[in-house]
Amino acid sequence: MPEHTFRVNGETVTVDVADDVRLLWVLRDVLGVTGPKYGCGINVCKACTSHLNGKAVNPCAIPVKALEPDDEVTTIEGLADTVDADLHPMQQAWLDQDVAQCGYCQPGQIMAAVAVVRRAKEEGREITDADLDGIRNVCRCGTYFRIREAIRAGAKAM
């Protein structure tokens, strides 16, 4: 099988898997990184949302052959390290706003939120309702109001 080298949460990894294996399965089953959740496997629910080179992506839709050695995958497990703290401000906002019910979708929700806030800040603006509406991660518990409040609070701290 071919070897694929890339970075995950700041560390270079090399995996020996077929080219068409999706990144989600490499993360979860090969590397033991279980923060990105399997929800649908077809890029709809977004429970697996992680960052690839700082942008929100869904690893269930990315074949491992698409990754280059200098590509950086960041999952919820490595998010706090991006700000050199115990918790990323968005993670803290999630706790402060008591967002989670079952918690299954929350890693993907947080990763999507961080990407949206980063993009708005790069554009020199505050997040808007349209930005929040653009986050399409599914929460079966329906905690969307608390999610939106946590994103607003987290954005202020980022």
Q: pLDDT (tens digit, 9 = 90+) per residue, 63-99?
A: 999 999 999 999 999 999 999 999 999 999 999 999 9
Q: pLDDT (tens digit, 9 = 90+) per residue, 133-156?
A: 999 999 999 999 999 999 999 999
Tell me how far apart the alpha carbons of residues 47 and 149 are, in angstroms, rounded to a whole number: 19
pLDDT at 1: 83
φ and ψ at 40, to 5 degrees? -120, -30
Tell me how far apart the alpha carbons of residues 10 and 41 are, in angstroms, rounded to a whole number: 25
In percent, the amount of the chain with pLDDT more than 70 equals 100
Query: What is the separation of C-alpha 101 from the centre of its chain, rounded to a whole number of angstroms?
Result: 18
Q: pLDDT (tens digit, 9 = 90+) per residue, 49-66?
A: 999 999 999 999 999 999
Query: What is the separation of C-alpha 121 from the centre of its chain, rounded to a whole number of angstroms?
Result: 18
Q: pLDDT (tens digit, 9 = 90+) per residue, 17-31?
A: 999 999 999 999 999
Instruction: Give the max Cα distance, the chain.
Output: 46
pLDDT at 28: 98
C-alpha pair distances (Å), 74 with each of 2, 115, 133, 144: 23, 11, 23, 24
Tell me the average pLDDT across 101-109: 94
In percent, the amount of the chain with pLDDT more than 90 equals 99
Q: What is the DSSP letter of 59?
A: G
Q: What is the mean pLDDT of the chain?
A: 97
Tell me the average pLDDT across 109-129: 97
Tell me how far apart the alpha carbons of residues 57 and 51 are, in angstroms, rounded to a whole number: 6
C-alpha pair distances (Å), 86 with each of 37, 89, 90, 105, 114: 22, 9, 12, 21, 16
Q: Is the dihedral of CA 134, 139, 143, 149 positive or negative?
A: negative
